[in-house]
Structure 1
Amino acid sequence: MRTTIIILNITCLLVVLLSVTACKITNKETEKVLSDGDLIDLVQKQTFNYFWEGAEPVSGLACERINIDGVYPQNDRHVVTSGGSGFGLMAILAGIDRGYVSREEGLERMTRIVDFLEKADCFHGVWPHWWYGNTGKVKPFSPKDDGGDLVETAFLVQALLCLHQYYLEGNEAERKLAMRIDKLWREVEWDWYQNDQHTLFWHWSPNYGWEMDFPVRGYNECLVMYILAASSPTHGVSAEVYHDGWAQGGKIVQPHEVEGYSLQFRHQGTQVGPLFWAHYSFLGLDPRGLKDQYGDYWQENKNHTLINRAYSIRNPKHYKGYGADCWGMTASYSVKGYHAHTASEENDMGVISPTASLSSIAYTPEYSLEVLRNLYQNKRDKVWGKYGFYDAFSDTEGWYPQQYLAIDQGPIAVMMENYRSGLLWKLFMSHPDIQNGLKKLGFQSPWLTD
């Protein structure tokens, strides 16, 4: 009798194991037939939901962070980010255009956001880094950073100009919203943030004035700020502010080579910067064919991406998991807190940030898709969640936090859309003020007409 029971138990166990194996085989076969387009759409839609379903409930803006695992830093459901919300607005706009939500639902959300922006704290037309979304009051980013943040405002304005162009020829309600957006654009006092100098300053506070003392000079993620400042029809800055401040009278140019690839610009403090430098300014600003007297921005961004991949393949610190299908270093969470990871031994902590490679899909589609497939097919149980891929992970440390950051999620959805359709590039570059500003600064672009 006992023998019979043992045989039956073994038989049942074999049936279960065979069933599990069959399920795994079926899942793998299903994944194999998922086309590149379907996989990109899946990731874009899931990431879009960070800004749609995960938005702060009163303002409709993007939460600074959403930590699914509840691990420090803790969520504050009402803290919203201006720059990350700009990225989120562009992600939502792409979602509306793709039918993830209806045009009517999208307009309602965009109207709620503009309602908030018209009443929220701002400083000479410039918004702070953080607000409380339920009150519109500034939340200081640091003790003296309790006023206007020109860089984060630029990322938000970049998105608002895309919205303006999208709604300008729409129905009556959409056209009215476009006019309200135009008023916000015209109220930004870019010239105030010169601080009476030939450069733009990152911060101004009603309590501390210019004490943060942070002049913004290139090369980094802030190019679009200078272009917007030059493009403003009401508070514009002169071309000299761009050439003397951002370009430092030509000192921005410093040709050098990293991992066998050429870079034209001086990447401040390092041979090559974190990869978000190739993303944030170029979510709306189309780098294809974009050139000025200092360099070729498409080539710079493409080579920046290729350097990141090549370093990971070389993997001089012998981290687990690095390779042709697992690369991407940018500013993100890390095993030691938030850190600007770069393709260099001094700033490589064994952390991969999915946003780095996935947001580079326009520059290196084949290589970015290799990472996308690897992450989704082989690491999904560790790095994929409610709002797409988590912010960062380390195979070496066995570290897989279930955490998201708005500034990293946004570029994934936006650059995927630019790769697929060029939508955000088309909208931003079609704005007549932007075209005038680019011409004023001596840029060349296929979008510029005589």
Structure 2
Amino acid sequence: MSFNIPTPPKITRRSATKLLGGAILSSFAAAPLEAQQAAAPATPAYSRLLTDEDLAFLEEMERAGCLYFTEQADPATGQILDRATNKTATGEFDTHFASSIAATGFGLTALCISDRRGYQDTARIKKQVLTTLDFHLNKMPHEHGFFSHFSDVKTGRPLINVEVSSMDTAIFLCGVLTARAYFNDHEITALATQLYNRVDWPWMLNGGKTFSMGWHPETGFISTRWDHYSELMMIYLLAIGSPTHPISADSWSAFTRPPMTFGPYSYISGRDPLFIHQFSHAWFDFAGKRDAFANYFSNSITATRAHKAFCLGLKRGYTDDYWGVSASDWEHGYAAWGGPPLMGPVDGSVVPCAAAGSLPFLPHDCIRVLRALKDNFGKDAWGRYGFCDAFHPDLHWYDPDVLGIDLGISVLMAENLRSAFVWDIFMQNPEPVAAMKACGFHAARQTTNPSEPKPTAIPSSDQPVAPSTNRPHA
């Protein structure tokens, strides 16, 4: 598959500084503080972040991924399929029937990227955005503004035994707010604002300071909560910034930030897959900022470094050109796997969205592995929408499907690396800006400064930590 490469959009001074800063931070996050002090040059030597070949690859990956969010959207509801086959020449609507509210949120953001990059006609894109927003506001079943994790793609009816999901609704709303800010269209603005303002965030707290993971019509609230650091940051910031049903900013300090150490790497993390360090960062601009506890952008750099080192240390076939495992399909189903520490049946499979979702954090490492995967295994692992969800060449297994959320994080983070577009657009919304201010975010000193203190970790609670994703198969 090859495409004509359009002239890349203009990169602002702010964007260029942010991207270069990410590359510089990456090099320092690889070593303990003492090594950083010794290694820090008096005058950093700057170099171009991405080569022409890198940009051409990212363009092809983004264009293919964005295509999923137009072809695999139901034309009457705007809902995006949770998964679809990747080896298709026609792009016909897939036979799967389950939509994912999170994939739909990623899709709304991908539509903004598609318009900005000229992948699709603007009128067609705006029509899909309006259809999606109108259906979810006026026809889609909801509970206090929250949506079910999975639903029938053509009717919007919740699938059997599927929870009303706090996290997946938050991902959807990030897409809603991105579309509102990008299109600056009266009708889109009205629908998007109503969707966001309708959400009754205090209801999902269920009497506590941390959010329940969800609610079932038959049994009520799920007992497990979003109470340790993970992809949860978006839920709390959206809720604190709500102009109609806000929660107290005190909830920002109510979830724990467990300390994690792997070899020389010290950072904040639960025992969760790598994607927890990526999802909130796809929209919220944490670069160059910190709160009372951490610089979360720098934290994600370290988490990605640790994950790569973890993979290479497993002696299961991982190399600099073949690494990365995050929650995904595997040969026998769906798994919340990865590490460190070791989670699930990590067997030497590779999950491309693990590296793609960390592109802004470790540009050179992640570009290298993604291009190598395409060059070495593209005949089997690459299809109409880009990489398949996961594969294991030694076992001759290549997932026939792609997953909307995994394509979504790949597309959004590739665009953020190239232009900071999603960050810049999303942060034009006043609510996220106000929420981060209320939570005490302020400009962070450069982590290249040897005097930068290490992040302060709130001790984890004694109760067992639940995985951040308990995603049913669909």
* Same topology, TM > 0.5: yes
Counterpart CA distance in 1 for 2:258 and 2:216 is: 32
Cα contact 1:331–1:339 (8 A) shared by 2: yes
Read off the aligned partner of 1:352 and give its amino acid letter: V
- Find 2:108's aligned residue among 89, 99, 111: 89
CA distance in 2, matches of 1:259, 1:336: 31
Q: CA deviation at 1:420?
A: 0.9
Decide whether aligned partners of structure 1 residues 346 and 113 sit closer, same or farther in structure 2, where only a CA change above 3 A counts: closer
- SS of residue paired to 2:243: coil
Q: Specify the SS of the correspondent of 2:105.
A: helix
1:69·1:401 contact (CA, 8 Å) conserved in 2?
no
Distance 1:182 1:346 in 2: 39
Q: What whole-Å deviation, never above 9, does each CA across 1:215-255 have from its counterpart, x for those lacking one?
A: 211211111101111110111000122222x23xxxx242x
Distance 2:107 2:377 in 1: 26
1:112 matched residue in structure 2: 131
Which of 343, 346, 349 is the aligned partner of 2:347?
A: 349
Instruction: Name the amino acid aligned to 2:228.
Output: G
Contact preservation (8 Å) 1:56, 1:77? no
Cross-structure match for 1:364: 362
Residues 289, 297 of structure 1: 8 Å contact kept: no
Verify: 1:237 aligned to 2:247, yes or no: yes
Match of 2:426 in 1: 428
| CA offset digits 1:251-302 (Å, max 9, x no partner) | x242x42142221x2x33x3xx311112211110112123111111011101
Residue 67 of structure 1 corresponds to 85
Partner amino acid, structure 2, of 1:312: C
1:406 partner letter: G
SS at match of 1:430: coil
TM-fit CA distance, 1:159 = 1.1
Provide the secondary structure at the position in 2 that maps to 1:257: strand
Distance 2:165 2:95 in 1: 20
- Post-superposition offset of 1:56: 2.7
Match of 1:176 in 2: 187
Paired residues of 2:290 and 2:443 also in contact (CA < 8 A): yes
The structure where helix makes up a greater share of residues is 1
2:237 alignment partner, one of 227, 230, 243: 227
Is 1:390 aligned to residue 406 of structure 2?
A: no
Of 184, 191, 210, 1:199 maps to 210
* Cα distance between partner residues in 2 of 1:360 and 1:213: 31
TM-superposed CA distance for 1:408, in Å, is: 0.7
> Contact 1:283/1:411 (CA < 8 Å) preserved in 2?
yes
Distance 1:292 1:311, change over 3 A: same
Runs in 1 of length 4+ with deviation above 4 angstroms?
Answer: none
Distance 2:329 2:82 in 1: 13
User: Could you tell me how far apart the structure 2 residues matched to 1:189 and 1:407 are?
Assistant: 25
Inter-partner Cα distance in structure 1 for 2:251 and 2:368: 41
Partner of 2:59: 41
The one of 327, 330, 348 aligned to 1:334: 330
Deviations 1:104-136 (A, max 9, x none): 111111011112101100000111111212112
1:261 matched residue in structure 2: 265
- The offset of 1:76, in angstroms, is 5.0
RMSD across aligned positions (CA):
1.9
Question: Displacement, 1:345?
Answer: 4.1
Give yes or no for contact 1:128–1:149 (8 Å, CA) kept in 2: yes
**Cα distance change of structure 1 residues 133 and 96 upon mapping to structure 2, 3 Å threshold:** same
| Corresponding letter in the other structure for 2:349 | V
Report percent identity of matched pairs. Answer: 27
Does the residue aligned with 2:253 lie in a helix, a strand or coil? helix
Distance 1:337 1:435, change over 3 A: same
Q: How far off its partner does 1:395 sit?
A: 2.7
Match in the other structure for 2:405 = 407
Is the radius of gyration larger for structure 1 or structure 2? 1
Q: CA deviation at 1:389?
A: 0.2
Match status 1:442 vs 2:440? yes
Q: Does 1:160 align with 2:176?
A: yes
Highest relative contact order (Cα 8 Å, sep 6+), 1 or 2? 2
TM-score, normalization by structure 1: 0.82
Find the counterpart in structure 2 of residue 171 from structure 1.
Answer: none
Question: Which residue pairs with 2:34 in the alignment?
Answer: none
Does structure 2 conserve the Cα–Cα contact (< 8 Å) formed by 1:334 and 1:349?
no
SS at match of 1:204: strand
Task: Report the counterpart of residue 375 of structure 2 in structure 1.
Answer: 377
Distance 1:346 1:98, change over 3 A: closer
- What amino acid does structure 1 have at the position aligned with 2:275? F
Distance in 1, Cα, partners of 2:158 & 2:342: 38
C-alpha separation between the residues in 2 aligned to 1:34 and 1:386?
Answer: 23
- Give 1:349 shift: 2.4
* Deviation per residue, 1:149-188 (Å, 9 max, x gap): 11100001011111111122xxxxx222112111111001
Q: Tell me the distance in 2 between the aligned counterparts of 1:373 and 1:151.
A: 31
Q: For residue 51 of structure 1, what is the aligned residue in structure 2?
A: 69
Using the size of structure 2 for normalisation, the TM-score is 0.78
CA spacing shift, 1:68–1:97, aligned 2, 3 Å:
closer
| Cα distance, 1:102 vs structure 2 | 2.1
Q: Aligned partners of 2:172, 2:363: CA distance in 1, in Å? A: 26
- 1:209 Cα deviation (Å)? 1.7
Q: Which residue of 1 aligns with 2:311?
A: 312
Q: Do the aligned residues in 1 keep the contact of 2:282 with 2:412 (CA within 8 Å)?
A: yes
How far the C-alpha of 1:54 sits from its partner, in A, is 2.2
- The one-letter code sitting in structure 1 at the alignment partner of 2:424 is K
Look up the match of 2:22. none
Q: Read off the aligned partner of 1:135 and give its amino acid letter.
A: T
Q: What is the deviation of 1:213?
A: 1.5
Work out whether residues 44 and 416 of structure 1, in 8 Å CA contact, stay in contact via their aligned partners in 2. Answer: yes
Distance 1:54 1:93 in 2: 16
Equivalents in 2 of 1:278, 1:88: separation in Å?
20
In structure 2, list runs of 5 or more residues that go unmatched: 1-50, 89-93, 445-474
Q: Which residue of 2 aligns with 1:133?
A: 153
| 2:84 match: secondary structure | strand
Distance in 1 of aligned mates of 2:144 and 2:365: 43
CA contact (8 A) 2:337 2:343 kept: no
Partners of 2:323 and 2:74 in 1: how far apart?
32
Match of 1:419 in 2: 417
Tell me the alpha carbon deviations over residues 43-97 of structure 1, each in whole angstroms, 9 at most, x when there is no partner: 1101111111122343222101113579xxxx75332100111112111211111
Q: 1:218 aligns with which of 228, 235, 238?
A: 228
